[in-house]
Amino acid sequence: MPRIWKFGDSVNTDDILPGKFAPFMAGEDVFQTFAFHYVRPEFAAQVQPGDVLIGGRNWGLGSSREYAPQALKKLHIGGIVAPSFARIHYRNLLNLGIPAFEYDLTELLEDGDEVTLDAQTGLLTYADGTVQLPPPPEFLREALKEGSILEFFKKHGRFPGEEPGAEASTETASAAE
């Protein structure tokens, strides 16, 4: 059964994948084995598909390097849940199709707790109950149905979220937030 990996505040991209283990440094096939190499050295060897990473605020601060979330994708994690994400990293997670949920589970769950996470609905089940996590924005789920924003653009000639010629409206704004 998938388990929780619990981290603290301000997990940065150098924590997730140190720059010296970038794919072109460590090798395209093995760079993911260095995920959390310094802060959780056992992580890459022990993580199982579907495991859920939880952390505190500002998850993913630092570099724009997309190979940090790529390493987690290669390890088939089930998702990341944190009360806030750094913006470039959040985009990267969504663009790669890694479920990311803005929610604080650090009070509720401990490292090693067994959970299941339905990435589509955001329903997380743990030993004592369930938590409904806020799902990613609709427009990105739309994109991920096509594979990524790249396939979406290739097919539709635009990015998801804005219809061509659409005018600004407060409805759009509140929906996006």
Partner 1 sequence: MGMTIAEKMLAAHSGHDTVVPGQLIECATDWVLCHEITTPAALRMLEERGMDRVFDPQKIVAVPDHSVPAMNIKAAKMYQKLKSWVQEKGIEHFYDVGRGGIAHVVLENTGLMKPGQTLVSGDSHTCNAGALGAFATGVGSTDLAGAIYAGKVWFKVPETMLIRVTGKTNPGVTPKDIVLEVIKQIGADGANYMVMEWVGDYIDQLDMEGRFTLTNMAIEAGGKTGIVAVDDTTRAYMQQRGVSPEQYTEYQSDPDAKYKVVVEIDAAQVEPTVAYPHIPSNGRVAGSDRIRVTHAYVGSCTNGRITDLRDVARILKGRKVAQDVQMIVVPATQAIWKQAAQEGLLEIFVDAGASVSYPSCGACLGMHSGVLGPDDICISSSNRNFVGRMGDPSAQIYLASPATVAASAVEGFIADPRRYDAEGNDLNAAD
Rg of the Cα atoms in the chain: 17
Rounded Cα–Cα distance for residues 128 and 135 (Å): 22
Q: Which is nearer to partner 1, 118 or 142 (CB)?
A: 142
Minimum CB distance to partner 1, residue 151 (Å): 6
Minimum CB distance to partner 1, residue 52 (Å): 22
Which region among 73-81, 103-111, 112-120, 152-160 touches partner 1 (by CB under 8 A)? 152-160
74 or 91, CB closer to partner 1?
A: 91
| Touching partner 1, residues 18-47 (CB under 8 A) | 18-20, 22-25, 38-39
Q: Side chain identity at 11, as an amino acid letter?
A: V
* Cα distance between residue 152 and residue 3, in whole Å: 33
Q: Please check whether residue 65 is in contact with residue 86, taking contact to mean a CB–CB distance below 8 angstroms.
A: no
Q: Which of 66, 102, 104, 142 binds partner 1 (CB under 8 A)?
A: 66
Three-class SS state of 20: helix
Minimal distance, residue 44 CB to partner 1, in Å: 16
What is the Cα–Cα distance from 127 to 134, expressed in whole angstroms? 20
Provide the CB-side half-sphere exposure for 86 (13 A, CA).
17
Nearer to partner 1 (CB atom), residue 39 or residue 131:
39
Alpha helix locations (H) across 28-169? Answer: 43-46, 67-74, 87-96, 138-146, 149-156
Residues lying near partner 1 in the complex (CB under 8 A) are found at 10, 12, 14-15, 18-20, 22-25, 38-39, 57-58, 61-67, 69, 84, 86-89, 91-92, 95-96, 139, 148-151, 153-154, 158-162, 165, 167-170, 172-174, 176-177
